[in-house]
Each structure stands twice: as C-alpha cells, then as structure tokens.
Amino acid sequence: MEEELIKKIKQKKEFSMLPEKDVELVFEKINTPFRTDEEKIKMTRDLLRKIYTVFLSNKLLKIKRKNFYWFLKKHLSTRERFPYYSELYRKIIGNSGEKIKIYDLGCGINGFSFPFFKKEGFNVEYVGVEAVGQLVDLQKSFFKNSKKVSFFHESLFDINKIDEIVKKGKGTKIVFLFKVIDSLEVLERNYSKKFLTHLTPLVDKVVLSFATRSIQSKKKFFANRKWIRDFISDNFNLVEEFDLGGENYIIFSEKDL
C-alpha cells in the first residue's frame, strides 16, 4: 500500500529521479493514519518540492548549450553567490596545497562554478553529489570532456555511499555543505551531527554555509543556529567563520590531537 503511494508520488516528473530513500523519509514524516491517501500524496510532494526541487526550473533543464555563468545565474541558490565566487574560493582554499579535491555535497548546480577555481589558479578536482537526478545529468553532460569534474546521484542519507566517495582520491580534501544542513534536519533531527562526526575525520576541512537572508524576499533573517555552532566548537577545530553575500560560512577541521 505504502509502496503504491510512493510510486504515485514519483510519477510526477519533477520527483521521478529522486533516490528512493529520500522519498521514503519524506513520506514517513507525512504518513499518519488520520490523513487520506490523497492528502499524503499532496503533502509529501509539497515537502519534497521544498527540500529538493524548489530550484528546478524547466528553463534550467531545457537549455542545452549555454555557458557556465548562465546556469549559475538561473538557480536561485548560486545566483546570490555569483558575484562572490572568486573571493569565496580564495578564502576557502587559500594556500591549502597543490592538489585540492572538493566534495560538494548537496551541490545543486554549484558544479557550474568550477571555472572559478581555474580562474584563481587552483588545481582542483571537483566531485558533486546531489539527490536530484536531473541536476546531476545536466552537469554531467556539460562536463563530459573534463577529467577533473564528476558527479554522483546519491542521497546524503546514504552515509556508506558518501563515505566511499569521499575516501576515494588523493590530495587536500575539502567538503562543501552549502545551504543543505537545514534540509537534512527537517527529515532527521540531529542527522547532520552524525554525518559530520563521521565525515570530518576523513577530510582536511569542512565548509558549512547557511543563508542569512531569504532567497525570495531578500530580507535578512536572524537564525544563529546555536546548536550547530556549539556542536562544532565542542567537537572540531574551528578554522574560520565569515559572512559573504548573504551567506554565513563556517570552516572547521578535525580536532588536533
């Protein structure tokens, strides 16, 4: 019965390429006995849209050959960051070493910002991980001739898969988790703590970001996210924290022994 409903939910094209696990997690949140099947379908789709596909516009997917910058400006999340990419990547990478491996988890279309690494003279290998299959395909086809850019269609809830991806490869490893932690928390409270505890020792540094103003209305909002700040300062080595273009970034690494 539940399988049938999940199948129905995924019949909408927008959700057809989401990992089964993520659709199930959202469905579980909604699946209470007092709701009708129609309500469950509608409410699950509404929450899926909020977490995963709100930025997925038809325009973004239909256009075949535009340049990287065109894509970055079409997605609400990267559009805001656009004027700051060079400064941001300089701040994050600085003098981290010769060969950098970036794992961008819940990347959306941030893979299109790859040219900014090159522009700043960094030798970066970029790996994007994203649950929305359409966004993965779009970027894969764009970068099909580049050996330095790759994408995985996976869920961040599949910790074994993420572990496998991050363990592969050599160089200075940096994880990006830009504007994605809140989505994980909606579905599983404290999952981000579990995730960071597992992941941080595997890499040289982790960069978390949060929006500090509403993407739609541009209004500044106050959300200091004390829980995650406390968790980071108690468990990791806080490297740097800064605001840039409506986004707050926290850089940290494993605690020195």
Ligand X SMILES: C[S@@+](CC[C@H](N)C(=O)[O-])C[C@H]1O[C@@H](n2cnc3c(N)ncnc32)[C@H](O)[C@@H]1O
Task: Give the interface with ligand X as residue ranges (CB under 6 A).
Answer: 22, 51-52, 77-78, 106-108, 110, 130-132, 155-157, 178-180, 183-184
CA distance 40 to 237: 43
Burial class for 35, CB neighbours closer than 10 Å (0-12, 13-18, 19+)? middle
Nearer to ligand X, 35 or 47 (CB): 47
In the complex, the smallest distance separating the C-beta of residue 200 from ligand X, rounded to whole angstroms, is: 18
CA diameter of the chain: 58
Nearer to ligand X, 66 or 255 (CB): 66
CA distance 112 to 118: 12
CB 161 within 8 A of CB 154: yes
In the complex, the smallest distance separating the C-beta of residue 33 from ligand X, rounded to whole angstroms, is: 26
In the complex, the smallest distance separating the C-beta of residue 53 from ligand X, rounded to whole angstroms, is: 7
In the complex, the smallest distance separating the C-beta of residue 102 from ligand X, rounded to whole angstroms, is: 12
Nearer to ligand X, 44 or 78 (CB): 78
Nearer to ligand X, 21 or 35 (CB): 21
DSSP string across 57-117: -HHHHH--S--HHHHHHHSHHHHHHGGGHHHHHHHHHTT--SEEEEEEET-TTGGGGHHHH
Nearer to ligand X, 73 or 233 (CB): 73
Q: Helices 159-167 and 191-199 meet at what angle, rounded to 10?
A: 30
Nearer to ligand X, 88 or 237 (CB): 88
In the complex, the smallest distance separating the C-beta of residue 56 from ligand X, rounded to whole angstroms, is: 8
In the complex, the smallest distance separating the C-beta of residue 130 from ligand X, rounded to whole angstroms, is: 5
In terms of DSSP H, where are the helices of 129-253? Answer: 133-142, 159-167, 181-187, 191-199, 226-235
> And the tokens for 180?
């994605």
In the complex, the smallest distance separating the C-beta of residue 183 from ligand X, rounded to whole angstroms, is: 4
Nearer to ligand X, 83 or 97 (CB): 83
CA distance 188 to 46: 17
What is the number of the residue whose Cβ is closest to ligand X? Answer: 108
Nearest to 208, CA basis, from 240, 237, 250: 250
Phi, psi of 128 (to 5 degrees): -105, 140
